[in-house]
Structure 1
């Protein structure tokens, strides 16, 4: 008699546990997208402070996964791989995290649901340990029990909360009442997210999960194929934890001329050059008397700067460009600008700079940098500019 009772007990346990099956702890190779730079620059602004994962560890998850992509094994194996990828993709932000599984059997301590990781300060390593604690799947699918238990799990959760369900959604008891109760307790602080890990025959479960997110009126539903890739998982993490922000503008001054790159119209200015407000190595104003190509003596310091720059940068070659305002005919201004450019070149040669390092060309009035309608604008347009030609 004892022998038959023992056999009956084994059969009963097998039925209750759904023949709990062990899962692999070896995850598929994955290279996550790095979201840290988007966080640092303000492109992403954190909106979620705590998250709780509800993982389906029921017997339906021991079925082999039939979806597309690089994930293999049972649906339970796929869940764990997705959780691993999720964990790897979370950037360096302050969070609290928890993980609860649902099913029945020895891996859930013979309960309908088990708190694998109580709410604690999030770290990638501690959450990885909680993922690896999901050792097997068996029993029914008491998602409603897990949702009910979450009310207590989240009591000390700071800030806004994300409840994330990984499941095929094939529940025996509707999780809708439990979801309504959880939402009522935490209100606008709580959003629901679901990831459907199912096969074609489980398609009705997708609707069950969608109903949960609809009740919460905050969050969304997705599925394995959408988040399995680095880009897909990054998009999922962004939507769960962040809202779009206004990027912080970090402006550099690559050529160290005192004009930031976003406003520098002449990048690559050589070392030591005196530049104008546009970052260009140029002389503006009454550099020449009217109808003259002789450089006025008051501009000797500007010529001396050009000599200094050419000597500081022995491999530097430049094109000296002459420009005029719009007073006078096009032909007259073209010839005048040519003479002025050559005059500056000749002055630099006279002071010891090799002529082969410089060319001279005039552009007349064709390239104004200010309005020719004002005296100030016309003075700014009467200029000589040095454009480096060694790059």
Structure 2
């Protein structure tokens, strides 16, 4: 009889131990949480300080959706911590409800802060807080928070995570008292863990006492998108995005070159790129790669702008020598540079004649450059006749612009 009794007792003890281990496993199992990449550049912080008040009273040991409410509550705070971007704010964590074995009353506990917030610091504090137990002195925790934050500067977000159970109405006047102390600097946010209607009603009243916060359920913010939305609303204000009227990626208030055509690459000031530095934007430059110091026309081509030939003439007058000497200077500064000298005409006369005339003009310029010491191997001459006008041939002014010589760098 005694043997059977002992066997039965041992079986009961083993069963109890196995059940306890299984329950512990359920309690500590957490859902994998991958926080969203919060685009903080689109927002600006609206708080300078925050404090989390975490309910660690006995009612938080009850199970909810496969885990204790206390485990769920700590996980919610941890998810908030993971979602927050790097912030220059003061942070704190206070718990309430735990009763040490040698005490007879509630023990609200400042577990973290008030200190410069870091993600690692708050995470460490969450790992070291004691198990849940005792009664639910939320009002005492709110009063204690008022004292904790008395020396901070700027706005405050008070975040209360609780099931709202086993409490009287005392937290509401405590919240109102704290609001009267801090005024517009304080907003109160409550997060309901569980689904107790009375607890929800109490936490709603507490957040309403803050006048600028709100209440949510832990279920609604447990997902990455839900937590990101909570963090945005509690910690940040949306930045009014400046206009970028031309769509070049530079806001109008910083754009030195408004109305840039669509698709044109711009610099940090919103101006189109000018890679060769000739003063003509790349998207308009018909002759990219012009050497530094070269004189260019509106198309970005190296041109002997002062040397315009008389009709039917290819000789260079002495008054235009300074223009050619400037070309010599550029070529001497760029000893590896080779150029093609291109002669052009207006449309007066036959095409074949103009082709020959343009060749003569190009050769006249080449001869001058060689005479000034430029190696002929770096130069070539080509006539293009009337085929490439840059202005209208219908006016004397336009025809004068077309009677020109251009220099094009070649490999």
TM-score of the alignment, normalized to the shorter chain, above 0.5: yes
Question: Does the 8 Å contact 2:106/2:134 carry over to 1?
Answer: no
In 2 relative to 1, CA 108–57 (structure 1 residues): closer, same or farther, beyond 3 Å?
A: farther
Q: Is the contact between residue 33 and residue 79 of structure 2 (CA under 8 Å) also seen in structure 1?
A: no
Alignment partner, residue 168 of structure 2: 173
Instruction: State whether residues 55 and 167 of structure 1, in contact with CA within 8 Å, keep that contact through their aligned partners in structure 2.
Output: yes
From 91, 95, 113, give the equivalent of 1:97.
91
Larger Rg: 2
| Partner of residue 142, structure 2 | 147
Shift in Å, 1:234? 3.7
Matched residue, 2:297: 284
Indicate if the aligned counterparts of 2:267 and 2:273 stay in contact, CA closer than 8 A: no
Query: Whole-Å Cα distance in 2 between the matches of residues 180 and 224 of structure 1?
Result: 23
2: distance between equivalents of 1:222 and 1:108?
Answer: 36
TM-score scaled to structure 2, two decimals? 0.56
Q: Does the 8 A contact of 1:27 with 1:81 survive in 2?
A: no
Aligned to 1:284, what secondary structure does the other structure show? coil
Is 1:228 the counterpart of 2:231 in the alignment?
no
Distance 1:261 1:111 in 2: 59
Which position in structure 1 is the counterpart of 2:16?
A: none
Q: CA deviation at 1:195?
A: 2.0
Matched residues in 1 for 2:310 and 2:168: separation? 95
Q: Which of the numbers 33, 37, 48 marks the counterpart of 1:33?
A: 37
For 1:303 and 1:79, how far apart are their aligned partners in 2?
80
**1:308 to partner: Cα distance:** 9.6
Equivalence for 2:47: 48
Gaps of 5+ in 2: 1-23, 243-249, 256-265, 291-295, 299-303, 315-319, 339-346, 348-357, 367-375, 382-386, 392-396
C-alpha separation between the residues in 2 aligned to 1:276 and 1:55? Answer: 64
Separation of aligned partners in 2, 1:108 and 1:87: 33
List alignment gaps of at least 5 residues for structure 1.
Answer: 1-20, 67-71, 253-258, 315-327, 329-338, 356-360, 366-374, 387-391
| Equivalent in the alignment of 2:155 | 160
CA shift, 1:62, in A, is 2.6
**Structure 1 residue 31 displacement after superposition:** 4.7
Q: How many residue pairs align between the two structures?
A: 313
Q: Distance in 2 between matches of 1:95 and 1:306?
A: 60
Displacement of 1:290 in angstroms is 8.6
Distance in 2 (CA, whole Å) between partners of 1:231 and 1:108 is 43
Higher relative contact order (CA 8 A, sep 6+): 1
Q: Distance in 1 between matches of 2:239 and 2:184?
A: 21
Instruction: Tell me by how many angstroms 1:52 deviates.
Output: 1.2
Equivalent of 2:188 in 170, 187, 192:
192
Residues 54/308 of structure 1: CA separation in 2 closer, same or farther (3 Å cut): same
C-alpha RMSD of matched pairs (Å)? 5.6
SS state of the match for residue 263, structure 1? coil
Cα 1:236–1:65 change in 2 (3 A) is same
TM-score under structure 1 length normalisation: 0.58
CA change 1:363–1:103 in 2 (3 A) is: farther
Change (3 A) 1:246 1:178: same
Given that 1:96 and 1:158 are in contact with CA atoms closer than 8 Å, whether structure 2 keeps it comes out as no
Within a 5 Å distance, the mapping from 1:124-143 to structure 2 comes to 124-143=119-138
Structure-1 residue corresponding to 2:109: 114
Deviations along 1:266-317, one digit per CA (max 9) or x if unpaired, are 57x3xxx2332645548335959899999x98489689979999x78x9xxx
Cα distance in 1 for residues equivalent to 2:280 and 2:166: 69
Distance apart, 1:169 and its partner CA: 2.9
CA displacement at 1:119 relative to structure 2: 2.1
Q: Distance in 1 between matches of 2:59 and 2:50?
A: 25
Contact 1:162 / 1:190 at 8 angstroms: preserved in 2? yes
